[in-house]
Amino acid sequence: MEEQIIRTEYSDLMQKSYIDYAMSVIISRALPDVRDGLKPVQRRTLYDMYELGIRYDRPYRKCARIVGDTMGKYHPHGDSSIYEALVVMSQEFKKGLPLVDGHGNFGSIEGDGAAAMRYTEARLQRVTQEAFLSDLDKDVVDFVPNFDENEKEPVVLPAKVPNLLVNGSDGIAVGMATSIPPHNLGEVIDAAKAYLKDPDISTEKLLALMPGPDFPTGGIVVNKDELPAIYESGTGKIKLRGRVEVERLKGGKEQLVITEIPYTMIGANIGKFLNDIASLVETRKAPEITDISNQSSKEGIRIVLELKKGTDTEALKNLLYKKTRLEDTFGVNMLAVADGRPETLGLKQILEYYIEFQYELATRKYRTLLAKEQEKREIQEGLIKACDVIDLIIEILRGSRSVKEAKACLTEGITEGIRFKSEASRKRAAKLRFTVRQAEAILEMRLYRLIGLEIQALMEENKRTLKNIAEYEDILENHQSMTRVIVREMDAIKKAFSRPRRTSVENAEEIVLEEKKIEEMPVMFLMDRFGYAKTVDMVVYERNKEAADCEYKYVFPCMNTGRICVFTDTGKLHTIKVLDLPFGKFRDKGSPIDNFSNYSSSEEQLVGIGSMEALRDKKLFFGTKSGMLKIVDGSEFETNKRTVAATKLAEGDEVLLVAVTDGSEQTVLQSREGYFLRFGVAEVPEKKKGAIGVRGMRLGETDSLEAIYLYHAGTEQTIEYRGKTMVLNKLKAGSRDTKGTKVRG
């Protein structure tokens, strides 16, 4: 056969390949099925545990065994994804109805990860076994070949629980994501029963039975009036708040105790929440808080905020709701796989699919049970009939040369080859017409079944079988009977596994935070040579003036409501709110200035710093490595932005010095090759901050400025140069834009 070249458009091929990949991710990995509420990895893991016999009433088994078996048989996508799914299904703080009973370290609500799978053990929860897996042997769902066609796996688990709503789901597919909150099992079953009775029931009436989400972490849903629209469309935002209680202590003091958190806070966000509170204290937005302690344990969340006496606790609660994740939003997008395709579903649609699935399960289940009972009836009737002619059957068996002959006689009345005691027996045997199944049961029957009590028990068993057949036929033929069965199973699940609601649903007023007006006052800015900055009260500074001037590199006054300007060698100006800086005792270490601005000490060097208010009425002297100088009016640097350009630089140039000047100083420019030039600052013209400036010193092709000094005439200015002390005042005075004097070390 000749080789054929198929020509195709590259874009068409890529489009088809991408769509195939996207659908594979959507259907086979990321989204749950609306019927059992499980993603494929969850379904396969639970089914594998069922196959391994890891039931709720049997010993735990190593998670590594479960993960390895699941990966080898059903889910060839890596062990980490399987173990993560197993862990999440066991975590009570994530799932409203955990499906796996974990034994060992399965992580914590504060974001600690689970131990390695070789250390942890697991088994099925009772609810999983009874409500998800119990009917798998009754042909209620279809089975399909696994990835290598050596095993069979269920397309969907026969879940009697509306799991998509009870446990919720989250996942990211290609171009779409699902986010379904968990709900209360008992309430969802009540809503499903109400829908079963009246498919035209409104979403509002359903929400009267199932008020809204029920998160494992508790908390408060505060936008109750918006829930009908969210559950009607399947999308929207649910507003959550943590629960805060006020505890009174001795001495009239009070403390705030956070006992429940928003569902969105679980994990690393608890640590971030504590850091946010600490930040509010440091920036003096919540000075009433004297101590923060996380006393949470396995019993639940308990975050304690100790307060000063006389604190307005309501105002502080509002501040926490507004400024931290104690109030957060849960984005709802009820996307699931329905009829083989992804679909955003409202509450009524989810219940509709759930109810349809229950009818399908019940129909297949009772068809299977009916077939088994009919088979039993056939056998029982055959055995009862056989007991009436047992002497004839024994005569047939004794006179037959093979089982085949005996079976043919029992089913078709064929008597050839069989020895009978009399012709009358032969004629009676010729009239026998047992079914094949009855004949096999008779041939396998033991003699003890001929005891009178055993025959009576057989007849009683036959009565029960006939009763079961009548019941199953009624269920299959009568829609109301099947509905009663489904409702009865729902009630049994609710009674066995439901628990009280944890999350409150209410309408709460929008938090209106009245920011406290900060009392404006002067403070002293202190920053050491390592970049740790803080502010202290002026009285504290005066008391420690000598130590402060000695220990700190930058010391200057500013207003607590003002801003600090940080000039860097890259020509940028970073601004910092003074209120953001820690304010405290003189011996407090302070915090790195990098934490409060876009300035990064690892990427740029600080060349000037000052208070924006003080610089407003001053002139600033700029000098660069290439020798460009200019004077800029300080008012040009007033800005509310965190970072702006402070000056224009030529390519490869850097700022060496930014300093306040009154125009009367002397400046000394020092080059790398040892040239010094002294002249008056008055020779440097005033320019806009967007200008490069004028040349201050003529430099050789390979030379550049190493340092720039400013000093007032009449004051002696000394520097260390190549191991010697050098007095700048003694340098020969020159003019701007000259080469300067060579100084040898």
Give the residue numbers marked as catalytic: 119
The H or E element spanning position 371 is helix 347-388
Q: Which residue has the tokens 């920036």?
A: 283
Token pair, residue 228, equals 């009908």
> CA-CA distances (angstroms) from residue 677 to 410, 626, 662?
128, 14, 20
Query: Radius of gyration over alpha carbons of the chain, in Å?
Result: 42
DSSP category for residue 289: E
Read off the DSSP letter of residue 130.
I
Smallest Cα–Cα separation from 411: which of 442, 369, 455, 453? 442
Three-class HEC string of 339-354: CCEEEECCHHHHHHHH
Q: Which residues contact 627 (CB under 8 A, 6 or more apart)?
A: 669, 695, 696, 697, 698, 699, 704, 705
Supply 173's token pair.
């597919």
For residues 13 and 362, give the distance between their C-alpha atoms in angstroms, rounded to a whole number: 45
Query: What distance in Å separates the CA atoms of residue 72 and residue 367, rounded to the nearest whole number?
Result: 34
Q: What 3-state DSSP class applies to 522? A: strand
Are the CB atoms for 523 and 154 separated by under 8 Å?
A: no
Residue 43, classed as helix, strand or coil, is: helix
Q: What are phi and psi of 349, to 5 degrees?
A: -65, -40
The DSSP element (H or E) to which 496 belongs, if any, is helix 479-497
Cα–Cα distances in Å, from 338 out to 25, 46, 334, 361, 547? 15, 21, 11, 16, 73
Other Cβ atoms within 10 Å of 97 Cβ, number: 24
β-partners of residue 576 are: 564
DSSP string, 243-281: EEEEEE-GGG-EEEEEEE--GGGSSTHHHHHHHHHHHHH
State the Cα–Cα distance between residues 679 and 664, nearest whole angstrom.
11
Q: Interhelix angle for 347-388 vs 185-197, to 10°?
A: 80
DSSP structure string for 7-25: P--HHHHHHHHHHHHHHHH
In our burial notation (b when 16+ CB lie closer than 10 A, e otherwise), range 389-414 reads: ebebbebbbebbeeeebbbbbbbebe
Residues 608 and 658 sit within 8 Å (Cβ to Cβ): yes
Q: Which residue in the block uniquely carries the two structure tokens 């009246």? A: 198
Q: What angle do CA 577, 581, 582 make, to 5 degrees?
A: 155
Q: How far apart are CA 572 and CA 566, in angstroms?
A: 8
Where b means 16+ CB within 10 Å and e means fewer, 310-328 reads ebebeebbbbbbebbbbbb
Query: Residue 36 carries which DSSP code?
Result: T
Instruction: Give the residue carrying structure tokens 């204290």.
Output: 281
Gap between the Cα atoms of 356 and 339, Å rounded:
12
Residue 409 C-alpha from the chain's centroid: 71
Q: Collapse the DSSP code of 361 into the 3-class scheme (helix H, G, I; strand E, B; otherwise coil) and give the result.
A: helix
CA 109 – CA 667 distance, rounded (Å): 62
Question: How far apart are the C-alpha atoms of 453 and 448, rounded to whole Å?
Answer: 10
DSSP reduced 3-state for 584: coil
